[in-house]
A and B are shown apart, each in its own frame.
Chain A
Amino acid sequence: MMEKVIEILMDIDDSVDYETEERLIDDRILDSFGLISLVAEFENEFGVRIEATDMIPANFNSARAMWAMIQRLMERC
């Protein structure tokens, strides 16, 4: 499933090494337009519900953090 997260990220910007990048938001690699596209993709792909409170840099700074958030949200459902 983590591969799916990376696949979605690659679709937005394929010039980043998502396996190692840990500062996607802090270093402005991913902007807010990218972020809202991601939210739509994640909800579509994983059937989770992302809320305003989840929109913090810590949840989107790396592919790993995103996957951890998705897992948490899947449990919440």
Chain B
Amino acid sequence: MAYHTNLYLFLFLPAVLLLYQMAPRRWRSGVLLCSSYLFFASISKGLVIYLAGSTLLTYGTGLALLHLKQKCSSETAEVARAQAQNIREKFRKKEKLVLLAGIFSLVFLLGYLKYYNFFADNLNRLVERAGGASFLSLKRLAVPVGISFYTLEAIGYMMDVYWDRMIAERRPWKLALFLSFFPKMMEGPICSYSALSEQLGTGDALKAENLTHGFVRILWGLFKKMVVADRLYLMVNTVFDNYKGYSGMVIVIGAIAYTIQLYMEFSGSIDIVIGSGRLFGIVLPENFRQPFCAVNAADFWRRWHISLGVWLKTYVFYPVSVSEYVKKWNRFARKRFGKYWAKVGLSALCLFPVWFLNGLWHGAKWSYLFYGMYYFVILLIGVMAEPLGSQVRKVLHVKENSRWWRCLQIGKTWLIIFTGELFFRADTLRAGLAMFGSIFRDFDFATLWNGTILNLGLGRADLLAIVLGCIVVGIVGSLKERNRPVLDGLLQARMPLRWAVYCTLILAVVILGAYGSGYQEVDLIYAGF
């Protein structure tokens, strides 16, 4: 039951809304919790036990941390400062052990279900290459939907409690609802408990304003997914499945088409997710902020899959950057190599785990690991080249905010993005490398107008719908970038204009959406992660 299916949009979601509104206020959160578990079970069936188990583990870890913190406070209340410091340190160690046990259990479960076969297969190959016999058998492991998302949320919750950023939740149903809330179950965004906890427990009645907002947002998401992403799916598959028969410009077109498909599909799904949450008055965090306006790779990752970037920054990047090992290295490097190389080394040490985990999080494939390492190298080059870049700008009297400089930077970032997505989509790392290499073979701009594009699975009408869809999304995005959010403006517009836009969007999805003969229902890409 993916978010764009009739089952979700016309049966599940309206039924939950109805039940939610009919239920007494104190039972409304219960309705959301039961619906979320039903939603999960409809996709992953018996694997719901993993979700329930992870929730219990997270809840238990939180309570254990709370208990230790309370005990520490009572024991330090009436003792001298020096003694209190000793007691605090003793309890801090215990808390750390509890936290590590909780994190390790969740990571072990995720690692086993998602990465065991990848690890076993590669280890077997290594042993075989060394002349031995493979010794690890591959298993048929079913992975629960959303495990990569709710595991990160659970770890974030435990770390926030450990860091005293919030108090552990005593009500198990509330934590269970946070981890399982159905709109964000399949594709995120990855939320923090402190941002959602108050909203999840209110049980407020449905409001017309929220319903309108949510409805428009869902419609906008469907437009992106059905009109643009699902059409491009055919072209992308043609190029990537038969890459050996293509070279030069066709591969470039494939990489660009996939980047657009991924953006329209993922951001469109997130629009449906945020819209679904909004129907119940729950505001989920944004996951995209005009990523194609980014001026460099770091800026791109502050605009693309924002919630994953924020999670990695909060729970990996900063803890690593303030760890004793990194600090020691920094002090040593400053004395030995100077400020510049210390900063480069510091950035490398902090960025590596972030990008290794980013690649690995997407799935058990070498191409995903390569994708993570690709951005690690690009970002590190960015750090290294920064002083040189400012010097060049100074010498050439280039203003950083000038339009042409910005366009140049955006163009450069697009190249980085398209190349990264080429490897991300390729079936294997070897295929990705072969595709990248073949770009430089038989490169011919004439491919753009000599009819080759029409042989990539799409007809003229498809291409026209895609171009129109991209123009509309591009205009809306560029207005938002200029602080003129179209959606908010639309909701305040006069009724005739509002309804004209709603009807146009509905008609566009119905008429231009990719369904019927020749098309197939396209699964949500990020639900697979």
Q: Is B163 on the interface with A (CB-CB < 8 A)?
A: yes
Query: In the bound complex, what is the Cα–Cα distance between A51 and B302 (angstroms)?
Result: 23
- B307-322 contact mask (Cβ, 8 Å, vs A): 1 or 0: 0000001100111011
Query: In the bound complex, what is the Cα–Cα distance between A18 and B330 (angstroms)?
Result: 26
Shortest B493–chain A CB gap in Å is 29
Which of B119-127, B277-285, B343-351, B403-411 lines the interface with chain A?
Answer: B343-351
Of the candidates A28, A31, A39, A53, the one whose C-beta lies within 8 Å of that of B321 is A39
Main secondary structure of the interface of A (DSSP, over half): helix
Of the candidates A31, A40, A51, A54, the one whose C-beta lies within 8 Å of that of B346 is A40
Known interface pairs A39-B321, A39-B322, A51-B322; A56-B342 also in contact (CB < 8 Å): no
Q: Across the interface, do A36 and B350 meet the contact criterion of CB distance under 8 Å?
A: yes
Q: Across the interface, do B343 and A52 meet the contact criterion of CB distance under 8 Å?
A: no
Query: In the bound complex, what is the Cα–Cα distance between A43 and B329 (angstroms)?
Result: 13
Q: Is A2 on the interface with B (CB-CB < 8 A)?
A: no
Q: Is A68 on the interface with B (CB-CB < 8 A)?
A: no
Query: In the bound complex, what is the Cα–Cα distance between A43 and B383 (angstroms)?
Result: 21
CB contact list, B327-343 vs A, under 8 A: 327, 330-331, 334, 342-343
Residue of B nearest to A51 (CB): B322
- B338-368 contact mask (Cβ, 8 Å, vs A): 1 or 0: 0000110011001000000000000000000
Write out the residue numbers on chain B whose beta carbons fall within 8 Å of the beta carbon of A36. 318, 321, 346-347, 350
Q: Is B165 on the interface with A (CB-CB < 8 A)?
A: yes
Write out the residue numbers on chain B whose beta carbons fall within 8 Å of the beta carbon of A44. 331, 334
Write out the residue numbers on chain A whose beta carbons fall within 8 Å of the beta carbon of B350. 36
Query: In the bound complex, what is the Cα–Cα distance between A35 and B342 (angstroms)?
Result: 14
Q: Across the interface, do A40 and B330 meet the contact criterion of CB distance under 8 Å?
A: yes
Q: Across the interface, do B322 and A52 meet the contact criterion of CB distance under 8 Å?
A: yes
Shortest A16–chain B CB gap in Å is 13
Shortest A3–chain B CB gap in Å is 20
Shortest A54–chain B CB gap in Å is 8
Q: Across the interface, do B298 and A31 meet the contact criterion of CB distance under 8 Å?
A: yes
Write out the residue numbers on chain B whose beta carbons fall within 8 Å of the beta carbon of A51. 322
Write out the residue numbers on chain B whose beta carbons fall within 8 Å of the beta carbon of A54. 322
Query: In the bound complex, what is the Cα–Cα distance between A52 and B314 (angstroms)?
Result: 8
Q: Is A74 on the interface with B (CB-CB < 8 A)?
A: no
Query: In the bound complex, what is the Cα–Cα distance between A51 and B330 (angstroms)?
Result: 15
- A42-61 contact mask (Cβ, 8 Å, vs B): 1 or 0: 01100000111111100000
We find that the number of chain B residues with CB closer than 8 angstroms to chain A is 22
Q: Across the interface, do A52 and B319 meet the contact criterion of CB distance under 8 Å?
A: yes
CB contact list, A21-46 vs B, under 8 A: 28, 31-33, 35-37, 39-40, 43-44
Q: Across the interface, do A52 and B318 meet the contact criterion of CB distance under 8 Å?
A: yes
Of the candidates A32, A33, A37, A53, the one whose C-beta lies within 8 Å of that of B164 is A53
Shortest B243–chain A CB gap in Å is 36
Shortest A76–chain B CB gap in Å is 10
Of the candidates B319, B327, B342, B347, the one whose C-beta lies within 8 Å of that of A33 is B347
Shortest A20–chain B CB gap in Å is 20
Q: Across the interface, do A53 and B346 meet the contact criterion of CB distance under 8 Å?
A: no
Q: Across the interface, do A55 and B343 meet the contact criterion of CB distance under 8 Å?
A: no
Write out the residue numbers on chain A whose beta carbons fall within 8 Å of the beta carbon of B330. 40
Write out the residue numbers on chain B whose beta carbons fall within 8 Å of the beta carbon of A56. 165
Shortest A30–chain B CB gap in Å is 12
Shortest B400–chain A CB gap in Å is 9
Of the candidates B322, B346, B383, the one whose C-beta lies within 8 Å of that of A55 is B322
Shortest A11–chain B CB gap in Å is 9
Known interface pairs A40-B346, A50-B322; A33-B383 also in contact (CB < 8 Å): yes
Query: In the bound complex, what is the Cα–Cα distance between A65 and B350 (angstroms)?
Result: 24
Query: In the bound complex, what is the Cα–Cα distance between A54 and B343 (angstroms)?
Result: 20
Write out the residue numbers on chain A whose beta carbons fall within 8 Å of the beta carbon of B334. 40, 44
Shortest B290–chain A CB gap in Å is 14
Query: In the bound complex, what is the Cα–Cα distance between A51 and B317 (angstroms)?
Result: 12
Q: Across the interface, do A37 and B343 meet the contact criterion of CB distance under 8 Å?
A: yes
Query: In the bound complex, what is the Cα–Cα distance between A32 and B346 (angstroms)?
Result: 12
Residue of A nearest to B342 (CB): A40
Query: In the bound complex, what is the Cα–Cα distance between A35 and B346 (angstroms)?
Result: 12
Shortest B9–chain A CB gap in Å is 36
Write out the residue numbers on chain B whose beta carbons fall within 8 Å of the beta carbon of A35. 318, 321
Query: In the bound complex, what is the Cα–Cα distance between A33 and B350 (angstroms)?
Result: 9
Write out the residue numbers on chain A whose beta carbons fall within 8 Å of the beta carbon of B313. 32
Q: Across the interface, do B383 and A53 meet the contact criterion of CB distance under 8 Å?
A: no
Write out the residue numbers on chain B whose beta carbons fall within 8 Å of the beta carbon of A28. 302
Q: Across the interface, do A43 and B327 meet the contact criterion of CB distance under 8 Å?
A: yes
Query: In the bound complex, what is the Cα–Cα distance between A33 and B165 (angstroms)?
Result: 23
Write out the residue numbers on chain A whose beta carbons fall within 8 Å of the beta carbon of B321. 35-36, 39, 55
Query: In the bound complex, what is the Cα–Cα distance between A28 and B309 (angstroms)?
Result: 14
Q: List 13 A-B contacts (CB under 8 A).
A: A32-B318, A35-B321, A36-B321, A36-B350, A40-B330, A40-B334, A43-B327, A44-B331, A44-B334, A52-B163, A53-B163, A54-B322, A55-B321
Known interface pairs A36-B347, A40-B334; 8 further A-B residue pairs with C-beta atoms within 8 A, sorted by A's residue number? A33-B383, A40-B342, A51-B322, A52-B163, A52-B319, A53-B165, A55-B318, A55-B319
Q: Which of A's residues lie within 8 Å of B, judged by CB?
A: 28, 31-33, 35-37, 39-40, 43-44, 50-56
- Top 10 nearest A-B pairs (CB, nearest first) are A53-B163, A55-B318, A52-B319, A36-B321, A40-B330, A52-B322, A52-B318, A50-B322, A51-B322, A37-B343
